[in-house]
Structure 1
Amino acid sequence: MTLSLGDAAAYVVNNPSTLFNPHAVVQRLPLFDGHYCLVIDDFLREPQALVDFAQRHRPAFRYDSDNYFPGVEINMGRQFALALEQFFMLQLRPYFQARRQLGVACRMSMTTLQPPQLHPLQRLCHRDAESSSPGLGIAAAVVYLFDRPELGGTSFYQPKFSVDETRQLLTELQHASAQVCNEKLQAQPAYLHTSNAYFDLMHTIEAKWNRALFYEGTIFHAAQIAQPELLEDDPATARLALNGFLKFKKQAF
């Protein structure tokens, strides 16, 4: 659902120029095979306003089974998403060889599910798109809105098997029972936070208050949740984050 912005934190959404810190430094962190992640600390000018916003709108957060996010989410609306897209095109375009924006979505999320509640696909890493068409690109973003590093940052993974074999695994687990998933993964329900028989953990970036990550949406990644018992559903103490998804046309070479 799209929010009705009627509280004191709404100016953050309604005034794009107030959203982002113009002095934030972009760090380019290599991952593997030429892939990298952009890390931006002190990303938002008023991050606490977004936490306050989440607290006021807590009843509007919903679980969406279609995208397999292990928790609840809320759509941040078109104006907020366009502000993120504008920042991306003005500040990060060269890193992704982006020429023209094609679409953007932005939501706020809280990771809340405990391991026994996880769908089989939620026990693995994921990617936001399997691939992109020639000349097109997909980027993903996450902004940590919590100050408890023990809730977990983000890890990036590399498949151990071919594209077809990896696709087959994900297809099988999409409709598998918990027991079949346990047998397939040779593990009890848990968030993926280390290498397993199908994926190698290549790099972990620690969560930090008001830290943003931007990376290619086709890279396998997962929240680095090793202590799920710490997960809560109160925005003030939860693993609260902004999530952005951007599509763009690449520069021609």
Structure 2
Amino acid sequence: MFASVSNLLASPEEVIRAATLQKFAKITPQYPGVRSELPRAVSLAWLKELSPLLDKAFGASDNGWEMQAWFSLVTAKPSELVPMQRFPHVDGTNPRQLAMMLYLHDTPHGGTGFFRQRSTGLEALTDENFPRYRQALENDVRTNGLPPAAYVTDGAPYFERTHTCEGAFNQAFFYRGNVLHSGLIDGSQELSPDPAKGRLTINAFFRPIE
């Protein structure tokens, strides 16, 4: 389900410097921060190097993989989180879609946690089980209310953490995008919008070419 590579980049500091030159913006309502897409030429070069690892760890794609990646910075204070950002999430319901987090920061904001829904036992969502997951979550919220405005860490009250990637500097962590997950953000610490000081990551999605 997971794969990890330590010290992925030969010169991570150069990549961080490149990030400081990018224009970051809020792209989706789900992500509690800002992003800047990596140039396609860069993604293609990375994909050439990473494809053998993806094939070995998650099963070969007959026609290869396509990749999209972003520099990402978590910037939202806990008090600013909307309800959808207070729960673990998935990147989609296709188990063949993969994700990567490359941690390029040395902050207290940690890595990524993976979770199980307490009421159903679900850890990965598919087209088939998503309605059951959604109904159970709606029932939980209807009965007990929304979680407080805070980042997900231990998963309480409706989830439990099952696995943790600590997010060491220059560590790349790969997982199936339909597994429930969330960044392990320390809400008591500052979240800087400066790529050289904040929780900078590169996150990428890999999809098998049909």
TM-score of the aligned structures, taking structure 1 as reference length? 0.72
Q: Distance in 2 between matches of 1:242 and 1:219?
A: 18
Q: Distance in 1 between matches of 2:32 and 2:171?
A: 21
* 1:153 matched to 2:111: yes
The higher relative CO (CA closer than 8 Å, separation ≥ 6) is in: 2
5 Å matches for 1:108-147? 108-132=71-95, 137-147=96-106
* 1:166 matched to 2:133: yes
Q: Secondary structure of the equivalent of 1:54?
A: helix
Q: Secondary structure of the equivalent of 2:15?
A: helix
Give the 3 Å change call, closer, same or farther, for CA 144–185 of structure 1 in structure 2. Answer: farther
Counterpart of 1:145, as a letter, is: L
Compute the displacement of 1:182 (Å): 10
Aligned to 2:64: 101
Give the 3 Å change call, closer, same or farther, for CA 169–103 of structure 1 in structure 2. Answer: farther
1:194-253 Cα shifts (integer Å, max 9, x gaps): 132322110112121101101111111100113353211111110000001001169xxx
Counterpart of 1:61, as a letter, is: F
Q: Distance in 1 between matches of 2:176 and 2:147?
A: 29
* 1:52 matched to 2:52: no
Contact persistence 1:155–1:201 (CA under 8 A): yes
Q: Distance in 2 between matches of 1:46 and 1:185?
A: 46
Give the 3 Å change call, closer, same or farther, for CA 182–225 of structure 1 in structure 2. Answer: farther
Q: Distance in 1 between matches of 2:21 and 2:33?
A: 18
* 1:71 matched to 2:33: yes
TM-score of the aligned structures, taking structure 2 as reference length? 0.85
Give the 3 Å change call, closer, same or farther, for CA 228–77 of structure 1 in structure 2. Answer: farther
For structure 1, the 5+ residue unaligned runs are 1-35, 173-180
Counterpart of 2:54, as a letter, is: L
- Number of aligned positions between the proteins: 200
Q: Secondary structure of the equivalent of 2:27?
A: coil
Instruction: Pick the structure with greater CA Rg.
Output: 1
Give the 3 Å change call, closer, same or farther, for CA 55–171 of structure 1 in structure 2. Answer: farther
Contact persistence 1:103–1:246 (CA under 8 A): yes
For structure 2, the 5+ residue unaligned runs are 121-129
* 1:85 matched to 2:47: yes
Q: Secondary structure of the equivalent of 1:165?
A: helix
Please, what is the CA RMSD of the aligned residues? Answer: 2.4
Aligned to 2:125: none
Q: Distance in 2 between matches of 1:182 and 1:192?
A: 19
Q: Distance in 2 between matches of 1:87 and 1:218?
A: 24
Aligned to 2:200: 240
